[in-house]
């Protein structure tokens, strides 16, 4: 029972307030993640559908405004890449598939605009104190949950405390909020958040990149605490209401006619977990589903080719999200020694990985940002494909630590998720590249276990996907010293005090250029620490049957346009079906 709880925790910490989707693959597409893709020429240019430059400077794809008049009716059948353990934002692991469903049923306090700044959504306004250590949030009046419970200050506190006090989820929240009084009610529609350190863009932590901003009915939360089966029957304040759910088969949400945000066009949205990426694409092209999410390179390319040849599919392509990389655990041998980390980096077959696994579709990654991002540091280049440079490092390391070596090579374990044929191919590719200087033991484990082992530090090297938050300072969670612990969110368990200080300084700044300059220094520090070997930029594809409209037309009540997609996640209330 205890092991199962730790598994739930390890999955949950990936997707909370500053999610940057990480982990091993269910699709076997890119980097052992859920999927992937994009051009390998580094151009970063937009496609023909009206791309905009996103917060990190990559291509945040939008579509042209619709010329037709929206009409009500229809059911959107959506193929998602994974099933969920439940639909409770205070306890469930809402990875990208879960966040699309979560936004439909719970909505969010905050949304991102195309530049990565925050827009009040269910909230009405945010006001900081002078040093950005306190933020006061005012809610919109008249917003009710599906069960009639009002969305008020008490409801917000109930949601926050449920997450903070949960023995699993709380680990991702506790480092950031005041220990004594993290949140307090000011009046029926106003709450104040008290932070441990200054954050000039703190409302972005309540936006669509995570689930802290999703609000559940406190009445339902109390009932779900008493009866865990209710975690499968969510009650929120969003545009769609729960109707039915059969795990591993179908979840059906129907229109909320009392939605505070205005007209909801579709009658219903049905979500189908289809874990095989090729099968998902087949079902979309065959008409069995109407939309899908994927980062699988071959599947995405098939859908792009179909759009170009017939126009039957509309693809939203965005590689401003996560990066794929090899990750090393610095808390145990051999990678507690920088020489071993450098040797693995130099001998990694990065080019072969991108050509054989991602089929040359993805852009190579040198760091956490695409090369058209304002945060991109042009002085940082990912070292790889130079195995000869590993030789003196390995000789020196083995001379000092002979017990960690055999026959002059460093002993190491590479862990990957499985059983999965693509993951086996990736493991074979890396092993071949490392074998001259490393004795590699390959350990295939279940998906839940690879995440668990990363959280507990029970791994040496693995494949990961992470970063990509529209506000890059939210990715502090994965790099700061205080998130290293027995259960670590700083997965490599590497504490760089100077890097943490830079993240604090940049997060507190209100000067855009200063934030850029500081983040470039962070990028350089990450590169110098040799904890990651960046491979490529994952490309999300949210593909729709051509009859669906309004995909990128979500707005706030004030009419401010909302960012179309974020790591494969988007709003659905504005989508409608053309006759």
> Which residues are CB-contacts of 348 (< 8 A; sequence separation ≥ 6)?
326, 384, 385, 430, 433, 434, 533
Contacts of 13 by beta carbon, 8 Å cutoff, 6+ apart: 169, 171, 172, 455, 487, 489
Instruction: Look at phi and psi of residue 360 and say left if phi exceeds 0, alpha if psi is from -120 to 50, else beta.
Output: left
pLDDT of residue 425: 93
313 closest CA partner among 321, 325, 304: 304
Half-sphere exposure of 326 (CA within 13 A, CB side): 29
pTM: 0.86
d(CA 79, CA 283) in angstroms, rounded, equals 8
What whole-number distance in Å separates Cα of residue 241 and Cα of residue 145?
Answer: 10
Q: pLDDT at position 485, please? A: 87
Strand partners, 484: none
Retrieve residue 467's tokens. Answer: 């970063």
Tokens standing for 286? 């065959």
Place of tokens 């730790």: 6
Contacts of 496 (CB under 8 A, 6+ apart): 479, 481, 525, 529
161: exposed, middle or buried (C-beta count within 10 Å: 0-12, 13-18, 19+)?
A: middle
Helices within 214-314 (DSSP H only): 218-226, 277-286, 297-310
Q: Cα separation of 402 and 39, whole Å?
A: 44
**The pLDDT value given to residue 172:** 74
DSSP 206: G
92 and 98 in contact (C-beta within 8 Å)? yes
Q: Please give the C-alpha separations between residue 209 and each of 11, 44, 110, 253, in angstroms, as whole numbers.
A: 15, 22, 10, 22
- Tokens for 505, please give them: 């300084």
Provide the CB-side half-sphere exposure for 7 (13 A, CA): 11
State which residues of the chain have pLDDT below 50.
1-59
CA count, 13 A, side-chain hemisphere, 360: 2
For 52, the token pair is 């905009």
Q: Which residues contact 428 (CB under 8 A, 6 or more apart)?
A: none
User: Among 99, 24, 32, which residue's Cα sits nearest to residue 451?
Assistant: 24
The pLDDT value recorded for residue 25 is 37
> 């307090």: which residue's tokens?
184
E runs forming strands in 419-539: 438-445, 461-466, 532-537
- Structural element, H or E, at residue 352: helix 350-356
Residue-level pLDDT at 451: 82
Tell me whether strands 461-466 and 409-417 are parallel, antiparallel or unpaired: parallel
Predicted pLDDT at 418: 83
At which residue do the structure tokens 């980096």 appear?
A: 345
DSSP 357: T
pLDDT at 61: 60
């Amino acid at each position: 029972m205890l092991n199962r709880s730790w598994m739930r925790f390890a999955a949950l910490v990936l997707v909370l307030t500053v999610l940057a989707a990480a982990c091993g693959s269910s699709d076997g597409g890119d980097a052992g993640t859920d999927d992937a893709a994009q051009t390998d020429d580094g151009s970063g240019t937009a496609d023909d559908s009206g791309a905009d430059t996103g917060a990190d400077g990559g291509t945040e794809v939008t579509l042209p405004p619709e010329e037709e008049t929206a009409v009500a009716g229809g059911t959107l059948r959506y193929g998602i890449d994974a099933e969920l353990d439940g639909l409770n934002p205070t306890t469930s692991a809402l990875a990208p598939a879960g966040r699309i469903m979560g936004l439909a049923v719970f909505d969010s306090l905050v949304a991102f605009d195309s530049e990565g700044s925050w827009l009040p959504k269910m909230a009405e306004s945010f006001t900081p104190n002078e040093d950005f250590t306190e933020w006061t949030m005012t809610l919109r009046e008249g917003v009710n949950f599906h069960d009639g419970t009002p969305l008020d200050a008490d409801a917000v506190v109930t949601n926050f405390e449920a997450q903070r006090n949960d023995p699993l989820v709380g680990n991702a929240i506790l480092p950031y909020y005041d220990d004594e009084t993290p949140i307090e009610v000011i009046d029926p529609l106003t709450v104040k958040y008290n932070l441990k350190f200054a954050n000039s863009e703190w409302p972005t932590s309540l936006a669509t990149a995570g689930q802290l901003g999703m609000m559940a009915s406190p009445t339902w939360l109390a009932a779900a605490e008493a009866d865990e089966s209710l975690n499968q029957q969510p009650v929120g304040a969003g545009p769609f209401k729960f109707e039915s759910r059969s795990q591993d088969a179908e979840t059906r949400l129907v229109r909320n006619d009392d939605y505070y945000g205005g007209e909801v066009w579709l009658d219903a949205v049905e979500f189908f977990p289809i874990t095989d990426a090729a099968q998902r694409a087949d079902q979309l092209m065959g008409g069995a589903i109407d939309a899908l999410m994927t980062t699988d390179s071959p599947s995405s390319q098939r859908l792009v080719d179909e759009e170009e040849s017939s126009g039957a599919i509309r693809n939203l392509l965005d590689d401003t999200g996560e990066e794929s990389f090899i990750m090393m655990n610095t808390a145990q041998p051999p990678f507690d020694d920088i020489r071993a980390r450098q040797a693995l980096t130099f001998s990694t077959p990065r080019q072969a990985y991108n050509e054989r696994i991602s089929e040359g579709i993805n852009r190579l990654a040198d760091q956490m940002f695409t090369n058209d991002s304002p945060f991109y540091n042009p002085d940082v280049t990912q070292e790889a494909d130079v195995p000869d440079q590993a030789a003196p490092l390995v000789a020196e390391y083995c001379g000092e630590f002979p017990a960690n070596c055999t026959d002059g090579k460093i002993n190491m374990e590479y862990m990957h998720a499985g059983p999965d044929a693509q993951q086996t191919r990736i493991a074979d590719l890396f092993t071949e590249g490392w074998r001259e200087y490393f004795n590699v033991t390959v350990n295939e484990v279940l998906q839940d276990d690879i995440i668990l082992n990363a959280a507990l530090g029970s791994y040496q090297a693995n494949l990961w996907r992470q970063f990509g938050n529209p506000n890059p300072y939210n990715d502090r969670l994965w790099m700061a010293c205080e998130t290293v612990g027995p259960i670590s969110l700083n997965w490599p368990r590497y504490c760089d005090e100077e890097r943490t200080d830079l993240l604090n300084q940049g997060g507190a700044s209100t000067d855009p250029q200063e934030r850029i300059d500081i983040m470039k220094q962070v990028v350089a520090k990450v590169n110098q620490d040799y904890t990651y070997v960046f491979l490529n930029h994952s490309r999300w594809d949210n593909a729709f049957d051509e009859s669906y409209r309004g995909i990128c037309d979500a707005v706030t009540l004030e009419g401010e346009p909302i960012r179309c997609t974020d790591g494969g996640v988007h709003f659905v209330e504005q989508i409608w079906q053309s006759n």
